[in-house]
Amino acid sequence: RTRAVVMLLFGLALALSVPPLLRSYAYIEVQTWYPAWRNGVRFLAIVSLVLSVVWIVLSWRRGWPEVRMRPIRIVVYGDAIALLPLALLSLLPDTLGMAYVPYEITLFAALLSPVFYYYALLMPVSDWLGLRLRAVSVHLALGLPAVLLVLVMASVVERVPLSPLTAWPVAAMGLGVVFSLMAAPLHRWLMRLTDWVWFGRATGYDLVVDKLAESLATTLDRASLGRRLLSDLTEGFNLAGSALLLREGAFCLRVVQSVGITSPTLDGLALEADSAVARRLRSEAQPEAQDHLRGVLPARQLSSGEGALLTHPGVALWIPLLSGGDLYGLLLLGPKKDGDFFTPEDLRLLTLVGYRAGTAAHNVLLMDEVKRSREELAKAHQELLDAGDRESRRLAQDLHDGAVQELLAVTFQLARARRRLNPESEDQPDEAAARMVADGLEELRRQLLEVVGQLRSSIGDLRPAGLEELGLAAALRAYVSRLEREHDGQLPRIELAVSEGHNHLPNRVSLCLFRVAQEALRNASRHSEASRVQVTLE
């Protein structure tokens, strides 16, 4: 039925177009059938417009997919834009006996109709024509009320019993006030209407992008980024699925989450950050279709992961996530549902999403580095506490087994000497006893000197002697000399090769290097069973 009605309307249009093709308009105007012909042309235009509106309403109620609805909306909108100047500025005022714009002028707008048909049927990939058609239609529709107001005011002025010199200034002021009040809201309404005609459900894309940008600005972890980005885009753009790859470190892009794209090849899949696909998307800095990427990238340049993604049936569009010219992730979008395609407006908004998400991915990477640094710092702090505790226990054990035991032995020796010198003792202090006491006291003096040496050694372990005053090289030489002196040939032969010029180092660095050498020499002397140990400082 629809096809029959369309063919009938086309036939009537062709039939009504025959007279002006064969004869001049002046000849047609004097013919007796001219009123019927003129009314037929007007009636056909009105019927065509009404039927177009009915067609789109029925299509909407039947739930046709967006890919079929969009051309219908554009054709109906184009017909309306093409006929409104003729209807509002010529036909309606002429019918009401008002001042009107000559038909020869308003009929020029009808030339837009076939352009809209061409665009709606072909939907070229480049949106150059679509941008111009939207701009022309909005400005044309915005100018219609202004011209119509002028025509109404002119008709009123003709009927008002006032001098034109008095009436026209007042009318002009009134027109200026009315149009200034209605221009801004009318322009906004026309822009929303045009966006709906062109993009349908995509009229809400701007809201989706704004909401997504607001949520991405506060996203600092990978799970939240993937959840917000994929769920909002998949739902907002009516996609079959999506997947997100984020950079790990400096050399890898790994799949972290996917929605609606299920495949074993995606689990844990990783791409090199400098792969052929990544270089291409980084240089183009805009969304790329799957088929186009496969065509421009030779298969021999692709890794196995790239080949798996470029042949995946669930992927239709690749979006680079860029920040500061660097690639921090990839967004893989599946095809739209209902067989719809990505319009140029979709690609413009998705490019914006790519930049916003790239900044968020950059922030996530920085936050990962901060968390990793915190963990490493906490681990180092814990190791430092453990090392301090071990060192304290070692020092306590050394003092207990060394100096404390020696001092206890000294107390026993002193008690024994006291008993020998006690007048009430059975052993009277004769000359032999006095010599024994003198020898015992000498032994005690020697033991006390050993205790002092042990304590000095422990103090040296706590604070290297001469490190701050004489520098790292001198402190190392002193430490090696002390070890050799204390162990008296029981250590491996220590060869120390220390270059000068280290006195400029900060104290904490010198202390750290000294501790490294100290612990290394301890381990070598206790566990290596080596005959020679070489220490080099450069």
Residue 202 binned pLDDT confidence (cut-offs 50, 70, 90): very low
Which residue from 228, 310, 327 is spatially nearest to 269, judged by alpha carbons?
Answer: 310
**Amino acid at position 506, single letter:** P
Segment 410-419, tens digit of pLDDT: 777 777 776 6
Question: pLDDT value at position 534?
Answer: 92
Q: DSSP characters for 464-492?
A: -TTHHHH-HHHHHHHHHHHHHHHHTT-SP
Question: pLDDT value at position 380?
Answer: 85
Report the C-alpha gap between 90 and 101 in whole angstroms.
5
Question: pLDDT value at position 255?
Answer: 81
Q: Please give the DSSP secondary-structure letter assigned to residue 505.
A: S
Going from the C-alpha of 449 to that of each of 154, 407, 442, 453, 490, the distances in angstroms are: 124, 11, 11, 6, 21
Q: Beta strand 493-498 with 532-537: parallel, antiparallel or unpaired?
A: parallel
Q: Among 160-164, 198-202, 248-252, which stretch is predicted with the lowest mean pLDDT?
A: 160-164
Tokens of 348: 């413009």
The reported pTM is 0.49
Which residue from 518, 509, 517 is spatially nearest to 536, judged by alpha carbons?
Answer: 517
The pLDDT of residue 224 is above 70:
yes
Q: What is the mean predicted confidence (pLDDT) over 399-404?
A: 72
User: pLDDT over 90 for what percent of the chain?
Assistant: 1
Alpha helix locations (H) across 62-204? Answer: 66-86, 92-95, 103-106, 112-122, 128-159, 164-199
Report the C-alpha gap between 486 and 489 in whole angstroms.
9
Answer for the pair 197, 337: CB distance below 8 angstroms, yes or no: no
Answer for the pair 234, 259: CB distance below 8 angstroms, yes or no: yes
Segment 445-483, tens digit of pLDDT: 777 777 777 776 666 666 676 777 788 888 888 888 888
Burial annotation 281-293 (CB, 10 A radius, 16+ → b, else e): beeeeebbbbeeb
Question: pLDDT value at position 203?
Answer: 47
Q: Which residues contact 187 (CB under 8 A, 6 or more apart)?
A: 138, 142
Segment 160-189, tens digit of pLDDT: 665 555 555 666 666 667 777 777 888 888
